[in-house]
Structure 1
Amino acid sequence: MSGHDVAIVGAGSAGLLLGCLLAQRGLDVVVLERRSEPQGGSRAIGIHPPGLRALDRAGIGAHVRDQAVAIRAGVAMSRGRELGTLRFDASPIRSLPQHRTEALLRQRLEALAPDALRTGAGVTGIDPGDGAVGLGLADGGAVEARWVVAADGVRGQLRGMLGIGRTALPGEAHYAMADGPDRTGLPHAAALHIEPGGIVESFPLVHGGRRWVARLDGPGDGMAAAGLRAVVAARIGDEPPIVDEAPVSAFVARQRLADAFARGRVALLGDAAHELSPIGGQGMSLGWLDAAALEEALLRAIATADEAPVEAWARARRAAARRAMRRAAWNMRMGAPCSPARLAARTALVRALATPPASTMLAASFTMRGL
């Protein structure tokens, strides 16, 4: 059995960032990933200013800025009319596919600690032990570490192995999304169409692409590109340029919060701790903020042989996740299908929020200040 300062279970965006941060500080860290190959597909794209600062700390922020598209504004529309524009030129949100950001993190971790990432290493059991935490692996091997971080995602097993439950918070709905070329004339702006049938959102992607997201009135499993085009066209009066071959990703946006973010010498990180609605795109950056704060807490805990710093981290980051979920739940309510009367009230509210001083507070919410 090999011993480490910290074992991180899961090589997603949060686990990789924490691995880089800890390796930079001279800790012996191992990152265990059950998959043998990196995950691709259509996932998160939004990198918010606080998350980018965390990536700066890991040494890849400049690469992200070079590769990403800067989203400098959000334009709200309804029935073909512009309701208002929020600008965040000073602190833009970056758009970069998650798999590309994770590739940069893996490269950075390889440079810092060449043997830290172990792929094909599924964790099948955990033993808190007395002096260290033991992890059993699917191949029959084992890993021992002073601290373990569960960054194994929404469907990860470690949270359940520790007996930590989850609580459902408000906010659940069905959506579908697909990517295509950008012909909106808004290369650096997100567009939010607030319509009676439900919201349609679109976001710029790298290389002149655009992601389209539509709220559905039920599960979208099996939806083809033509079906999503028809939903969008019926609401905004214009068919998005999504080719028939484009894969459509249907998903349920829901919110779940772990009842505790730490137990003993095991901490939950990112999606393992909080399943945040992707409407608003803040889940990935929230996981990075968790990781940046956990770096400092683990350094203090290891130096003092005391669990108190991680316990304090767990309380603070759980409170931050609650705040993020309240914001996400509001976003989802604003995008729900509605009657003409409710739509009129909603669009009037959006107009009011898009003017100072309310626009300053709303821009702060969209760029994740205070989390």
Structure 2
Amino acid sequence: MHDVIVVGGGPVGLYTALLLRQAGLDAVVLERRADRSSHSRAIGIHPPALRALAAGGIAEELRTRGVLIRDGVARSAGRHVGTISFSTLPGEEKYVLAVPQAVTEEILERRLQEEFPGTVRRGVAVLSSRDHGDHVRTVVRSQGEDIVLEARLVVAADGARSSIRDGAGIRAPSRRYPDCYVMGDFLDGTEDGDDAVLYLETGGIVESFPLPGGIRRWVVRVGCPVERPTAENLTALIRDRTGVAVDATTHSMLSAFEVQSRLAERFVAGRTVLVGDAAHEVSPIGGQGMNLGWLDAVRLVPIIAASLRDGDDVGARLAEYEKERRAQAALARRKAHLNMALGRPLPGPLMRSRNAVLAALIRNDAVHTAVARAFTMQ
């Protein structure tokens, strides 16, 4: 009988487990993948999440492995539109930290292995999870054998298509958006340094972010889903819209995705609690999803510890957790909607007029600060 079973070994599940173990609880992570993925989709860590990660003692190592983005630059048709500086942000973290997700997961898993060996169990697929009132009975398959595990609580961190959420009878209606993107990582041949750059172009937005090791990520909005993205097609899109030449032969990652969102109607059902994308899927544009999940964990783990370790009645606190985190997820979804709207194609005259308005707004100190805070989830 474990205290907590965490289903899902991504960045949110791993950090939830680390906090649980540091709180003195017996927690295990069940991850169906036998090995960590080298594919890094999420890269941005915003200041509130970085402060949350400091609670687990990993923020400093992440900082040493990442790039500190202090400015976001907007360009259009080869001209400078404006620069958002994060120097006006409150607190010490006046930047967005860019770290490949694979690096983040490696740090989290290594920390768990060093401090709490055996916490992460890979190659374990959850077949079913049933709430029996005073405990949860979970059937898993590992190395071809079906095994029964029991816990006082299950935390679902198994992503947007969460089987644990569905098994608990929690509805999470999805919403699709008319936005598709192709992205890839290439050697950085620009002179943009550690700046993030947004190209506001008539054909759709192109985004560019620095990564460690002289790598730059490019994200391009396209009009329809791309099943098999190629480096040649992506770099041609970048060149045609921005004039920037990217060497296709240097790519280290390619991906294409459509955008949808979902918000679970409940985050707590009996002895099952949702965190991360299992609770709230938002558009990757804006980089909020992983950060929201870590903020879930920091808010949730003290409540679990008070219940399972100290025997407190935490019903009211769980209700407040659900109310607060659903509200934050809804806010993040609205921000993502605005981010995507900003990147949609516009005719040239409308694009120029809109960019002129944006440039004027950015020059206003109050608006500048508000935009910087919005982009960094503050």
* TM-score (normalised: structure 1): 0.95
Match of 1:127 in 2: 130
Deviations 1:74-128 (A, max 9, x none): 0001101111101114521111110111111111111232121111111111111
2:171 is equivalent to residue 165 of structure 1: yes
**What is the one-letter code of the residue matched to 1:80?**
G
1:201 corresponds, among 193, 203, 207, to: 207
Instruction: Name the structure 2 match of 1:339.
Output: 347
- Kept in 2, the 8 Å contact 1:334–1:346? The answer is no
| Partner-residue secondary structure (3-state), 1:43 | coil
**Residue 116 (structure 1) aligned to one of 94, 114, 119:** 119
Select between 6-15 and 293-302 the one with higher mean Cα deviation: 293-302
Tell me which residue corresponds to 2:366.
Answer: 357
% identity of equivalent residues = 42
Shifted more, 306-315 versus 331-340: the winner is: 306-315
Which of 305, 318, 322 is 1:314 aligned to? 322
**Are residue 276 (structure 1) and residue 282 (structure 2) matched?**
yes
Measure how far apart 1:170 and its partner are: 6.9
Matched, 1:97 2:106: no
Work out whether residues 279 and 328 of structure 1, in 8 Å CA contact, stay in contact via their aligned partners in 2. Answer: yes
What is aligned with 1:367? 376
**Long gaps (5+) in structure 2:** 88-92
Letter in 1 for 2:56: A
> Could you tell me how far 1:244 is from its partner in structure 2?
6.7
Letter in 1 for 2:203: G
Question: Matched residue of 1:354: which SS?
Answer: helix
Given the alignment, which residue of 332, 342, 345 partners 1:324?
332
Structure 2 residue aligned with 1:192: 198
Decide which of 26, 31, 37 is 1:28's aligned counterpart.
Answer: 26
> Is 1:174 equivalent to 2:174 in the alignment?
no
Secondary structure at the aligned position of 2:307 is classed as: helix
Tell me the number of residue pairs that the alignment of Structure 1 and Structure 2 aligns: 367
Q: Name the CA distance, whole Å, in 1 between partners of 2:66 and 2:57.
A: 16
Unpaired segments ≥5 residues, structure 1: none
Question: Are the equivalent residues in 2 in contact too, given 1:79–1:195 (CA < 8 A)?
Answer: yes
Q: Deviations over 1:164-219 (max 9, x none)?
A: 12233474410001111112212111000000000000000101110011000111
In structure 2, the partner of 1:218 is: 224
- Which residue type is aligned with residue 278 of structure 2? A
The answer to whether 1:88 aligns with 2:97 is no
Task: Give the 3 Å change call, closer, same or farther, for CA 152–55 of structure 1 in structure 2.
Answer: same
Task: Indicate which of 234, 240, 250 corresponds to 2:246.
Answer: 240
For residues 164 and 342 of structure 1, what CA distance do their matches in structure 2 show?
A: 43
Distance 1:133 1:306 in 2: 18
The whole-number CA distance in structure 1 between the counterparts of 2:205 and 2:316 is: 44
1:16–1:105 contact (8 Å) kept in structure 2 = yes
Match runs of 1:56-71 below 5 Å: 56-71=54-69
1:301 touches 1:307 (CA, 8 Å); kept in 2?
A: no
What secondary structure is seen at the aligned counterpart in 2 of 1:51?
helix
SS at match of 2:353: helix
SS at match of 1:173: strand
Give the whole-Å Cα distance in 2 for the aligned partners of 1:359 and 1:322: 23
Tell me the amino acid that sits aligned with residue 243 of structure 1.
T
Q: Which residue of 1 aligns with 2:259?
A: 253
Q: Please tell me whether the aligned partners of residues 176 and 259 of structure 2 are also in contact (alpha carbons under 8 angstroms).
A: no
Alpha-carbon distance, 1:305 to partner: 4.6
**Residue 30 and residue 172 in structure 1: after superposition, are their counterparts in 2 closer, same or farther (change >3 A)?**
farther
Question: How many Å separate the matches in 2 of 1:169 and 1:58?
Answer: 34
Larger mean Cα displacement after TM superposition, 54-63 or 329-338: 54-63
Rounded to whole Å, the distance in 2 between the matches of 1:122 and 1:254 is: 25
Q: Provide closer, same or farther for how the CA distance between residues 359 and 170 of structure 1 changes in structure 2, counting only shifts above 3 A.
A: farther
**TM-fit CA distance, 1:238:** 2.3
Task: Give the whole-Å Cα distance in 2 for the aligned partners of 1:123 and 1:19.
Answer: 17
Secondary structure of the residue aligned to 1:215 is strand
Amino acid at match of 1:101: T
The 2-side partners of 1:175 and 1:144 are apart by 41
User: d(CA) in 2 for partners of 1:100 and 1:261?
Assistant: 28
